[in-house]
Amino acid sequence: MQFLILLKLLKKKKKDINWDIEMIGEVRDVIEDCLVERLKITNEQNFYPYLEENY
C-alpha cells in the first residue's frame, strides 16, 4: 500500500494510478537488487521475508 501512495505522490499526470501487483513486483525486484546485491545493506530474507521449505 505504501508503494501505491509513493507512486501517486511522484506522478506528474492527473490520471489516477490503479493497483497493479505486477508493477509492484517489478519495482520491488529492482529495489531488492540495489539493496541486496549492489549495496549489500541487507540480505534477501530480511528485505522480503519468506518461509524456507525444509526438504
For the whole model, what pTM was predicted?
A: 0.62
- Residue whose entry in the numeric block shows the C-alpha cell 549489500: 40
Residues 6+ apart with CB under 8 A from 19: 4
Give the start-to-end residue ranges of the domains of the chain.
2-47
User: What's the pLDDT at 39?
Assistant: 93
pLDDT, tens digit, for every residue of 1-55?
676 777 777 777 677 777 888 988 898 899 899 989 999 999 999 988 887 777 6
User: What's the pLDDT at 1?
Assistant: 60
User: What's the pLDDT at 40?
Assistant: 95
